């Protein structure tokens, strides 16, 4: 284990990882531990503490006190700490990539990409915060008011931000919350995922090593069912940044009350292929968009809509793309491409059941469909109906459903009838038509001639309906994690 991480665990095999609070690493007084099971080979990678309510209270109390002093620190000094953290992430790239492969089943290339992108994102937050400024307004700009009032509007920290990260990008989507929270003067409490929790703890250790003072950052471990409700309803929490399923997101929003929320939830993203599309490009992007990281991404393509004529031309290209570009196997092997294990056996069995139900109700399996343990073959289903569970509910695995439509209007109706609204893809060689159709689709982002994706990270990233609340992206997240504070000067003539 890398030397900068030596305080995190008890160094046994497998180790028990400590939680981070009040500037130190602790074993919980609960005595409870949660096992982290590798999806690759079912080995026990380690155990996480299950913190108590009293330990949560202590962490939040310390964060409330520490945040006040942290906000007083010059922005440039906070930014320099983030830059150093980014350098540490790069320094530990091999260690972190190897850990991601074991802990969440990413391929080697996917894991390395997450680590390096995380470092770049931390740097970008540190750079962009220097441009975040307030403004001044004069009263005579508004009809009916004369000179004599001036509003000085600053952007100030919100306070203590609770960050809840998912298993599929435990480094990147933890850093996307921690970095902007800290650099804008907030304290941050991270609730790591279970699988992915070890990776997230190492990231917290990096921020600590880079110089984030005790009390300003904490990592509180335990399953959502054990500590989630207490965290999201705690009076000391002043904002929640969450990435996860729509179901959990809705539950948190209902419980959290009147505090700001920044949520990225389920995607269930469609791809619409028009008759004039470049089908070779479409097939390449759809295969990549559907099967990267075994489809366990909120931005994965889940279903494809096209007329029967276009679908018949596209299917051979999709099957060829799966054969040539996708290789299911042990993610530790460089031969494996895109599809490794699903995060656990329960998820794999649930998706297999949805495939079986779809087949019983008339869908046709074109590729894949078979499961061994928690490894599920990359699967393409034809003749899928919009009412089938396989597409009506987000299927977080390597499954692409093909829906044949009579025309574009029918396709738009199907897309807009979904409860989800994260992203959609349109494939066409007529950009004007693509833009016109994009404006009719009720999602946060429409990609033209590309698969859905989160980046570039300075672009706005958002969902509508059940897919999210608020806008993320470098500048947008910094603004979301601060608030305007107005001081009005009254200067009588």
Indicate the pLDDT class of residue 225, thresholds 50, 70 and 90.
Answer: confident
The SS3 of residue 276 is coil
331 in the same domain as 184: no
User: How many domains does one find in the chain?
Assistant: 2
Q: Quote the CA–CA distance of 345 and 348 in Å, as a whole number.
A: 5
pLDDT at 2 over 50: no
The SS3 of residue 214 is strand
pLDDT at 3 over 50: no
Q: Could you tell me if 363 and 401 are in contact, meaning their C-beta atoms sit under 8 angstroms apart? A: yes
Quick one: tokens of 395? 């299927």
Model pLDDT, residue 432: 97
Model pLDDT, residue 328: 97
Indicate the pLDDT class of residue 13, thresholds 50, 70 and 90.
Answer: confident
154 in the same domain as 111: yes
430 in the same domain as 304: yes
Indicate the pLDDT class of residue 451, thresholds 50, 70 and 90.
Answer: very high
Give the structural domain span for 35.
Answer: 3-265+470-485
337 in the same domain as 231: no
Average pLDDT score over residue span 257-273: 97
283 in the same domain as 258: no
Q: Quote the CA–CA distance of 338 and 294 in Å, as a whole number.
A: 6
Distances (CA, A) of 366 to 11, 52, 288, 337, 378: 48, 50, 17, 20, 10
75 falls within a domain: yes
77-122 pLDDT, tens digit each: 999 999 999 999 999 999 999 999 999 999 999 999 999 999 999 9
180 in the same domain as 144: yes
Q: Could you tell me if 24 and 214 are in contact, meaning their C-beta atoms sit under 8 angstroms apart? A: yes
Q: Quote the CA–CA distance of 480 and 493 in Å, as a whole number.
A: 37
Q: What stretches of 167-311 adopt beta strand conformation (E)?
A: 187-191, 217-219, 239-243, 261-264, 269-273, 301-307
Model pLDDT, residue 117: 97
Average pLDDT score over residue span 400-423: 98
264 is catalytic: yes
DSSP 18: P
14-41 pLDDT, tens digit each: 899 999 999 999 999 999 999 999 999 9
Q: Which pTM value belongs to this model? A: 0.95
Q: CB 474: neighbour CB atoms within 10 A?
A: 22
265 is catalytic: no
313 in the same domain as 184: no
237 falls within a domain: yes
177 in the same domain as 87: yes
463 falls within a domain: no
Beta-carbon-side half-sphere exposure of residue 490 (alpha carbons within 13 Å)? 1
330 in the same domain as 242: no
**Mean pLDDT, the chain, integer:** 95
Q: Quote the CA–CA distance of 265 and 420 in Å, as a whole number.
A: 9
Which of 92, 110, 265, 298 is the catalytic position? 298
Beta-carbon-side half-sphere exposure of residue 302 (alpha carbons within 13 Å)? 29
Indicate the pLDDT class of residue 224, thresholds 50, 70 and 90.
Answer: confident
CATH number of the domain encompassing residue 285:
3.40.309.10
Which of 264, 285, 352, 377 is the catalytic position? 264
103 falls within a domain: yes
292 in the same domain as 316: yes
152-208 pLDDT, tens digit each: 999 999 999 999 999 999 999 999 999 999 999 999 999 999 999 999 999 999 999
314 in the same domain as 174: no
Average pLDDT score over residue span 249-272: 96
90 in the same domain as 231: yes
Q: Quote the CA–CA distance of 458 and 449 in Å, as a whole number.
A: 20
């Amino acid at each position: 284990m890398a030397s900068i991480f030596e305080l995190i665990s008890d160094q046994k095999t497998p180790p028990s990882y400590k939680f981070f609070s009040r500037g130190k690493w602790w074993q919980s007084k609960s005595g409870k531990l949660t096992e982290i099971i590798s999806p690759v080979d079912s080995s026990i990678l380690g155990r996480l503490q299950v913190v108590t309510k009293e330990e949560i209270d202590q962490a939040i109390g310390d964060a409330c006190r520490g945040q006040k002093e942290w906000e007083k620190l010059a922005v440039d000094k906070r930014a320099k700490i983030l830059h150093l953290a980014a350098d540490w992430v790069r320094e530990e790239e091999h260690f972190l990539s190897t850990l991601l492969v074991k802990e969440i089943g990413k391929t080697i290339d996917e894991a390395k990409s997450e680590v390096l992108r995380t470092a770049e994102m931390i740097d970008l937050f540190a750079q962009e915060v220097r441009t975040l400024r307030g403004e001044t307004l004069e009263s005579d700009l508004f009809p009916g008011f004369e000179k004599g009032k001036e509003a000085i509007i600053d952007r100030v920290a919100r306070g203590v931000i609770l960050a809840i990260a998912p298993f599929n990008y435990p480094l990147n989507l933890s850093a996307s919350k921690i970095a902007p929270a800290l650099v804008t003067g907030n304290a941050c409490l991270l609730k790591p995922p279970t699988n992915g929790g070890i990776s997230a703890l190492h990231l917290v250790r990096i921020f600590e090593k880079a110089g984030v003072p005790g009390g300003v950052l904490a990592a509180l471990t335990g399953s959502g069912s054990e500590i989630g409700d207490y965290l999201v309803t705690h009076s000391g929490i002043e904002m929640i940044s969450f990435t996860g399923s729509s179901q959990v997101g809705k539950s948190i929003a209902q419980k959290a009350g009147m505090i700001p929320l920044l949520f990225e939830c389920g995607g269930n993203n469609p791809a619409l292929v028009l008759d004039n599309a470049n089908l070779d490009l479409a097939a390449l992007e759809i295969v990549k968009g559907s099967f990267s990281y075994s489809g366990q991404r909120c931005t994965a393509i889940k279903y494809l809509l096209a007329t029967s004529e276009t679908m018949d031309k596209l299917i051979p290209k999709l099957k060829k793309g799966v054969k040539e570009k996708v290789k299911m196997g042990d993610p530790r092997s460089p031969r494996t491409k895109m599809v490794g294990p699903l995060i656990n056996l329960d998820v794999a069995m649930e998706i297999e059941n949805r495939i079986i139900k779809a087949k019983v109700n008339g869908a046709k399996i074109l590729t894949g469909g078979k499961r061994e343990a928690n490894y599920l073959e990359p699967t393409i289903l034809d003749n899928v109906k919009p009412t089938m569970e396989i597409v009506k509910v987000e299927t977080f695995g390597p499954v692409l459903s093909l829906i044949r439509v009579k025309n574009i209007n029918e396709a738009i109706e199907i897309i807009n009838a979904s409860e989800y609204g994260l992203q959609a893809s349109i494939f066409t060689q007529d950009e004007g038509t693509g833009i016109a159709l994009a404006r009719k689709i009720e999602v946060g982002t429409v990609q033209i001639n590309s698969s859905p994706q989160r980046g570039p990270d300075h672009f706005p990233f958002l969902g509508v309906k059940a897919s999210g609340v608020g806008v993320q992206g470098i500048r947008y997240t910094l603004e979301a994690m601060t608030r305007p504070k107005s001081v009005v000067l009254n200067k009588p003539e």
